[in-house]
Amino acid sequence: MSDRIRSIAENRKARHDYFILDRFEAGIELFGTEVKSLRAGKLNLKDSFCVVKNGELFAMGLHISPYEAGNQFNRDPLRPKRLLMHKREISRLYGQVKQEGLALIPLSLYFKGPRAKLELGLCKGKKLYDKRASEAGRQAKRDMDRHMKERNL
């Protein structure tokens, strides 16, 4: 079996709005028509987040568009999707989210071999001045790279 990784979608808004402290990989429990829709790339991670309920991890707001040829077997696009992680990992994440005021945000969804995987980030929210500082740093790096390129030519 090959562990070829094929990316489906990335949550670039999360990288803008949060500091990503740690990353985790979780399996995701899906139905057949949802998997077919994922293979077609019909997914939106933009406003999604994860919560722990009764010792289980769920992805909320993860929008998987209905499969066109799915008729009655299509599910609600915004239904909570259960994420598959070890119990120890879930309880550790729950403790960090509750005590430190962090958030669990889906960063990307991809196929690893035949299985769909979700990359979760343990994140801390950015303030407006943090976002401005990040943008200023990126702009400074672009300017330096541009000047280096001009001098080498």
- Kindly report, residue by residue over 86-116, the tens digit of the pLDDT: 999 999 988 888 888 788 999 999 989 888 8
Question: For residue 2, is pLDDT > 60?
Answer: no
What is the pLDDT, as a whole number, of residue 106?
92
What is the pLDDT, as a whole number, of residue 70?
66
What is the pLDDT, as a whole number, of residue 119?
92
Residue 34's DSSP bridge partners are none
What is the pLDDT, as a whole number, of residue 27?
92
**Cβ-based neighbour number of residue 18 at 10 Å:** 20
Of 33-37, 39-43, 62-66, 116-120, highest mean pLDDT: 116-120
* Beta strand extents in 11-152 (DSSP E only): 18-28, 43-44, 49-53, 56-60, 63-64, 81-84, 103-112, 115-125
Q: What percent of the chain has pLDDT over 90?
A: 23
Question: For residue 45, is pLDDT > 80?
Answer: yes
Residue 103, SS3? Answer: strand
- At residue 153 the predicted structure's pLDDT band, cuts being 50, 70 and 90, is low
Q: What is the mean pLDDT of the chain?
A: 86
More confident residue, 83 or 2: 83
CATH code for the domain defined by 5-128: 2.40.280.10
Domain boundaries, the chain: 5-128
- At residue 78 the predicted structure's pLDDT band, cuts being 50, 70 and 90, is confident
Q: Are 62 and 26 in contact (CB under 8 A)?
A: no
- Kindly report, residue by residue over 47-56, the tens digit of the pLDDT: 888 999 998 9
Residue 40 dihedral angles phi and psi, to the nearest 5°: -85, -5
Residue 99 dihedral angles phi and psi, to the nearest 5°: -80, -40
